[in-house]
Structure 1
Amino acid sequence: MAQHDPSGLVARLAAQRAAYSQERWPTLAVRRDRLKRLRALTREHGTAIAASIDADFGGRSAHETRLAELFLVAAAISHAESHLRRWTRPRRVATAARFWPARNRLLPQPLGVVGIVAPWNYPFQLSIGPAVAAIAAGNRVMLKPSELTPHFSELLARLVAGLFDPDELHVVTGGVEVGRAFVALPFDHLFFTGSTAVGRQVAMAAAANLTPVTLELGGKSPAILDPSADMTQAARRIAFGKLLNAGQTCIAPDYLMVPRGSTAKMSSDLGDAIRSLYPTISDNPDYSAIISDGHRDRLAALVQDACDKGAAVVEPVRVDLATNARKMAPTLLLGVNASMRVMQEEIFGPILPIIEYDGLDEAIAHVTAGERPLALYWFGTDARSRERVLRETHAGGVTVNDCLWHLAQEDQPFGGIGASGTGSYHGEWGFRTFSHFKPILHQPAVAGTRFFQPPYGKTFDAMLGALQKLI
């Protein structure tokens, strides 16, 4: 399929905007029909979608694609279909007694045309997931998947074109130049998932048009092991959370904090857990490859930098690069310090630094000293320590005694805070992101507000004085 010329994007946006102007409030039937078509795309083409992502990665677990992409999108569609009537209903809002008999309500309206920029690590989930929310809210959608997943991007463009009019949902393919032109378009809302560095550029491009943005970014998400934790259980759950998609997950635990003196035990338990999950690496279809040679080289450089500065490297399972050069062994780094790149950059790969802390105050201080992360994980049974961590640290979302699973909750918002993002989606939170809740005041024929109109005098003073006593 031919890639889009950046100059054609303006025409496509104009066509979608014109279509929206003819249908400014799509009926429930129209929205449900569009969601139904997305559900058909997900269910009927899952095998092809998984195969295309596998081709782009040079080895991506089909089971992980089914769980973390196809299942999550199908669940989001089902949730939206079940709740759409309630979400779209105008909402009564309390009216202060001084304004009676007027009444307030909120009317959720579509924004218009939404632009979605998706990353490469979960290309289907992070493309169609936001689109589900935007379509449920009644918007038209233009979608730009990553240039690093060309097989998937072309397949998605073809599947969408077969099920949707381009004025409803349209996939834009192309490289960096097309991406830059895309985020510079005057959308009614721009939704971006990717790195913090690129997110800053996207926000600046959108600012030129005063386009509101949702940024789903990343950061160094900590996992904190409390002294009260079941270390063996925690090790298996941390290993799974870290190594899903070979660590190429925005909410993967980026580093692990353990009580002073427990590194040896925890690294041993993590090694056992990793070997249980992935007995082999090179020829194991359950273990995903790194997306590109460039990303593989960056990860190797992080490990080498840590080694050069004194860190110890533990590889519980070795990898044969001759079999698959893009597979990277799960790697534990012990004895790390703040001077190492691995403790300064988001890792986005199967590398887990382990650092020790003395007491809860130090653990909290370490987390709060850095940028606010997209996720935080706490393991233990001490409720007082848990609540201190939850209340005294910031993170986009938290899972207690496990990793990742807060992302799958359709009744909870998902999003970052600070450098890890702005705005949220999933479930009703996504519907709100892509809607404008228009406040409406209904004024009856007889209203006391007439006493506040000129000419001003004693009546005005008396009425305003009476009201001031009520507030």
Structure 2
Amino acid sequence: MNPFFQLDSLFNSQKRAFLAQPNESLSIRLSNLNQLKRAILENRKALIKAVDADFGGRSEDETNIAEIQVCIDAIKYVSKHLKKWMRPSSRKVGIVYWPAINKVEYQPLGVVGIMSPWNYPIQLAIVPLIYALASGNRAIIKPSELTPETNKVLQHIVEKAFPLERVALVEGDAEFAAYFSSMAWDHLIFTGSTRVGKKVMEAASKNLTPVTLELGGKSPALVCEDFDIRKAAQRICFGKCVNSGQTCIAPDYALVPKEYVNRFLEELEYAFQDMYPSVVDNQDYTSIISKEHKARLEKMIEDVKLQGANVIQLNPANEDFSKTKKLSLHLVSGIEGEPDLMQEEIFGPVLPIIAYDTLADALHFINARPRPLALYCFSDDKAVQRAVLDKTQSGGVCINDTLFHLIQDDLPFGGVGESGIGQYHGPEGFLSLSKAKPIHIKGRFYTGHFFYPPLNTMLKKMLKKIFF
């Protein structure tokens, strides 16, 4: 069957199913979430094996913790709070409109499109689905073509848990993805690069489709002079090396006080060696997704070398990386100008270190660039923390650590500016995929006729006192 025709057919069948049952009960939504959880757990081993095959070496612990467990925790969290979220909220009525009732009800939108990337192919497909189902919507997932083995398992999971009229998964190339983003979704969630995100938003705008764009950018790690350099190095090294830096919120570069740069480089080397005594055959260290992505990273490294930067490859076991898709952590300091390394999101295990003189200089450096998806501030000084929070804008902030703000179920997740639009996770995830419908109900004693023209003089005087 023609894939475009198949997609249209799926979309129309889900739309019809939604219109036939437009506002499902709490019990149905909880049942849907429970079915999804059961299917994920039953296929845990298959998911781990599939992601490993797609990457050509993916840490089992990373897949378990950063993907599968994140999904299970999200289902548990949403299931616990869904009743409260679905409950209509009462709102105040202005005195001149009494007697009446004001309330807001949260209504499902309809059919949600989900476009997920390759770097976390389970989490970034399933977590948006969790919030779509919790909000009472239907959903069609379009995963990345770079993870075909994972897609097969995800296909099996959604087919086992749901009829096609509720959840479906479709695959296709860039042309298919462009068509997917141009459809008249009731909401479209896209996770990926800023470059592609702009195209998705342009396509969606033709139907006035509301979008949630989870993009990326260059997320800074700001090390302040009061913070322990060793601890900062360990935590930044961890955040940069999880999934080999192929994480949208990975620390992209580090800002370090000028006098501590050399010590910071040393501590990063110690931290990397402790975590990864070897790399090539180390099952804890994930491969780069493809040869093309590895070549892109290697070109970035070579370009800054030619421009005079100092590049240190951390290679504790003195291994040869030429015949593997793995790439060990590279530290880059002494950068001059604005090379590609400082223009593009790196998305790999390469960490530029930028020296700064004052906190004001560091904040100016951050604010001179597009607003990042994440910002990491390492300081125990409350005044410094406050200054960083007040004087920067980012999708999210993690103080004295990296990455962990993403997996706090009760916090929203989303970007700002070029790092994204909208948010999901937490109560905000439910609200993003619901229509907050305002409802005004008049009482039996009707006062509306007092506002019919012509207004009498006494009423005009009374209204003038109330309103002005």
Superposition TM-score tier, normalisation by shorter sequence: over 0.9
Q: Which amino acid aligns with 1:256?
A: A
Q: Which amino acid aligns with 1:461?
A: K
Query: Once superposed, what is the RMSD of the aligned Cα atoms?
Result: 1.2
Cα shift at 1:463: 3.6
- What's 2:249 paired with? 251
Segment of structure 1 superposing worse, 431-440 or 90-99? 90-99
Percent identity over the alignment?
43
Cα shift at 1:460: 4.4
Cα shift at 1:428: 1.3
Task: Give yes or no for the alignment of 1:118 onto 2:121.
Answer: no
Aligned-partner SS, 1:223: strand
1-structure distance, mates of 2:399, 2:249: 14
Question: How many corresponding residue pairs?
Answer: 466
Superposed counterparts of 1:19-58, under 5 Å: 19-58=17-56
- What's 1:456 paired with? 455
- What's 2:186 paired with? 188
Cα shift at 1:397: 0.4
2-structure distance, mates of 1:338, 1:209: 42
* Per-residue deviation, residues 359-399 of structure 1 (Å, max 9, x unmatched): 11101100011000000001121221111011100010011
* Per-residue deviation, residues 225-265 of structure 1 (Å, max 9, x unmatched): 00001111111111000000000000000000000121110
- What's 1:68 paired with? 66
2-structure distance, mates of 1:286, 1:228: 32
1-structure distance, mates of 2:338, 2:161: 52
Aligned-partner SS, 2:189: strand
1-structure distance, mates of 2:92, 2:453: 28
1-structure distance, mates of 2:230, 2:136: 47
- What's 2:272 paired with? 274
Segment of structure 1 superposing worse, 21-30 or 92-101? 92-101
- 1:148 is aligned, of 132, 146, 149, to 146
Q: Is the 8 A contact 2:39 2:160 kept in 1?
A: no
Cα shift at 1:162: 2.0
Q: Which amino acid aligns with 1:218?
A: G
Aligned-partner SS, 2:259: coil
Cα shift at 1:459: 4.3
- 2:9 is aligned, of 11, 17, 37, to 11
Cα shift at 1:194: 0.3
Q: Which runs of 4+ in 1 moved over 6 A?
A: none
2-structure distance, mates of 1:61, 1:30: 36
* Per-residue deviation, residues 170-228 of structure 1 (Å, max 9, x unmatched): 00112112211111110000000000000000000000010000000000000000000
Cα shift at 1:457: 3.8
Q: Which amino acid aligns with 2:224?
A: D
Q: Is the 8 A contact 1:357 1:363 kept in 2?
A: yes
Superposed counterparts of 1:3-402, under 5 Å: 5-317=3-315, 318-322=318-322, 324-402=323-401
2-structure distance, mates of 1:436, 1:312: 53
Q: Is the 8 A contact 2:327 2:349 kept in 1?
A: yes
Segment of structure 1 superposing worse, 7-16 or 359-368? 7-16
Q: Which amino acid aligns with 1:398?
A: V
Q: Which amino acid aligns with 1:406?
A: H
Which consecutive unaligned segments of at least 5 residues does structure 2 have?
none
* Per-residue deviation, residues 294-346 of structure 1 (Å, max 9, x unmatched): 11110001101110111111112254225x52100110001113321101110
Cα shift at 1:39: 0.5
Aligned-partner SS, 1:261: helix
Cα shift at 1:73: 0.6
Q: Is the 8 A contact 1:229 1:381 kept in 2?
A: yes
2-structure distance, mates of 1:449, 1:260: 69
2-structure distance, mates of 1:400, 1:449: 54
Aligned-partner SS, 1:262: helix
TM-score (norm 1): 0.97
1-structure distance, mates of 2:94, 2:254: 51
Aligned-partner SS, 1:107: strand
Q: Is the 8 A contact 1:115 1:142 kept in 2?
A: yes
2-structure distance, mates of 1:77, 1:441: 34
Q: Which amino acid aligns with 2:256?
A: V
CA, structure 1 residues 449+319, in 2 after alignment: closer, same or farther (shift >3 Å)? farther
Q: Is the 8 A contact 2:43 2:153 kept in 1?
A: no
Q: Is the 8 A contact 1:157 1:173 kept in 2?
A: no
Q: Is the 8 A contact 2:286 2:326 kept in 1?
A: yes
- What's 1:419 paired with? 418
Q: Which amino acid aligns with 1:233?
A: K
1-structure distance, mates of 2:172, 2:154: 13
Q: Which amino acid aligns with 1:388?
A: A
- What's 1:466 paired with? 465
